[in-house]
Amino acid sequence: MDPLIITCAPVGAEVRIDQTPHLPHTPRLLGETARAIQAAGASIIHVHCRNDDGTNTHSVERFREAYDAIRAESDLIVQFSTGGAIGMTLAERAGVLELRPEMATLTCGSVNFGDDIFENSFPIMRGILKKMNEFGVRPELEIFDKGHVANARRLARERLLTFPQHVDLVLGVPGGLEATVQNLCDLVDDLPEGCTWSVAGIGRQQLPMTMAAIAMGGHVRVGLEDNLFYSRGRLAKNDELVARVARIASEAGRTVTTPDQARRLLGLPVPAARGEPV
Ligand code: KMH
Ligand code: ZN
């Protein structure tokens, strides 16, 4: 099996700052988190931004500050969210792509999201992909439900996307596909040839989905975006969630990637400044 790529999603858009003292809601805190999660074994950081008061923002300026802070503290692959928060417009969600992060998410279809709807109509997905293609940003395909894989194939037929790609299977969102090993296997079977994949299990499903992915040869996403708790009643820190994945992987005989090893596995350029082939 390939070494394990750990993605950390440390912020998200749904967790409130009064729910946990561990949410890195400012660029400075994101920089500190980047350093800590890389030391713990993460290779990719999935970025959402907040204002100082904890409210959501997708302002280009705030993302620029966050990007600079993460870059100053780590070599992590920086993956921007284009999902943002429920209700953001296409222009807001796609605007941050002008900063040319190495990766950004593309959610491949609409999905019920608790009592809300996370809207990803074909016009929205096309709009995001056009900006990704314009700015040379690699998508990570976010799959919340079975039909989302078919939607991604349709976007490929429209020549807005090529395969293989890296895919994140987000399981256990209230309204999306449930986090079961059977569902995970079905989705993985359905992915286009050559795709790499990780799984994000929501809430208490984070740990079992992590273990399944490690055993199956997939990759793993953890972080406070998906799960607030380390164990029952005990709030998690992002770096300790990452460290736990690395420990379990090690017990199972899988090493974790460095960020540059992850870049090679995903076919992303390795920065020449580190003496690696581009
Ligand atoms: N916050 C969710 C509505 C993404 O980052 O691209 C969307 C989300 C997906 O988190
Ligand atoms: Zn996200």
Average pLDDT over residues 183-208: 98
pLDDT at 271 over 90: no
Per the prediction, the chain carries an average pLDDT of 97
Cα-based angle 218, 191, 205 (whole degrees, multiple of 5): 45
Distance 109 CA to ligand 2 centre (A): 14
**4 three-state secondary structure:** strand
Domains and CATH numbers, the chain: 6-266 (3.20.20.70)
- Taking alpha carbons only, the member of 198, 212, 201, 203 closest to residue 236 is 203
**92 three-state secondary structure:** helix
Distance 275 CA to ligand 2 centre (A): 32
Which protein residue has the closest C-alpha to ligand 1 atom 9? Answer: 83
What is the H or E stretch that residue 125 is in? helix 122-135
CA–CA separation, 62 vs 27, rounded Å? 8
pLDDT digits 0-9 by tens, 28-43: 999 999 999 999 999 9
Average pLDDT over residues 151-175: 98
State which ligand 1 atom lies nearest to the alpha carbon of 14.
1
pLDDT at 165 over 60: yes
pLDDT at 278 over 70: no
Residue listed under structure tokens 């009064």: 18
pLDDT at 202 over 90: yes
pLDDT for the residue numbered 219: 98
- Taking alpha carbons only, the member of 190, 193, 174 closest to residue 182 is 190
- Among the bound ligands, the one closest to the CA of 88: 1
pLDDT at 277 over 90: no
Average pLDDT over residues 249-270: 98
pLDDT digits 0-9 by tens, 204-230: 999 999 999 999 999 999 999 999 999
pLDDT for the residue numbered 272: 80
CA–CA separation, 184 vs 2, rounded Å? 19
> How does strand 229-231 pair with strand 234-235?
antiparallel
pLDDT for the residue numbered 48: 99
Which protein residue has the closest C-alpha to ligand 1 atom 4? Answer: 83
Q: Which residues of 211-240 are buried (b: 16+ CB within 10 A; e: fewer)?
A: bbbbeeebbbbbbbbbbbebeeeeebbbbe
The answer to whether 167 touches 191, Cβ cutoff 8 Å, is yes
- Among the bound ligands, the one closest to the CA of 110: 1
pLDDT for the residue numbered 19: 98
pLDDT at 156 over 50: yes
Average pLDDT over residues 128-142: 98
Distance 74 CA to ligand 1 centre (A): 23
Distance 81 CA to ligand 2 centre (A): 5
Distance 48 CA to ligand 2 centre (A): 6
Which protein residue has the closest C-alpha to ligand 1 atom 7? Answer: 83
Per-position DSSP letters for 154-219, written without gaps between them: HHHHTTS--SS-EEEEEE--BTB----HHHHHHHHHHSPTT-EEEEEE-GGGHHHHHHHHHHHT-E
Distance 15 CA to ligand 2 centre (A): 11
Average pLDDT over residues 194-207: 98
pLDDT at 80 over 70: yes
Residues with beta carbon inside 6 Å of ligand 1?
12-14, 81-83, 85-86, 105, 107, 113, 118, 142
Average pLDDT over residues 73-97: 98
The answer to whether 191 touches 148, Cβ cutoff 8 Å, is no
Of all residues in the chain, the percent with pLDDT exceeding 90 is 97
Average pLDDT over residues 147-151: 98
Average pLDDT over residues 66-90: 98
pLDDT for the residue numbered 273: 72
Which protein residue has the closest C-alpha to ligand 1 atom 8? Answer: 83
State which ligand 1 atom lies nearest to the alpha carbon of 170.
9
Cis before 164? omega within 30: yes
pTM: 0.97
How would residue 275 be classed by pLDDT, with cut points 50, 70 and 90? Answer: low
- Taking alpha carbons only, the member of 115, 174, 124 closest to residue 145 is 174
Retrieve residue 226's tokens.
């998906």
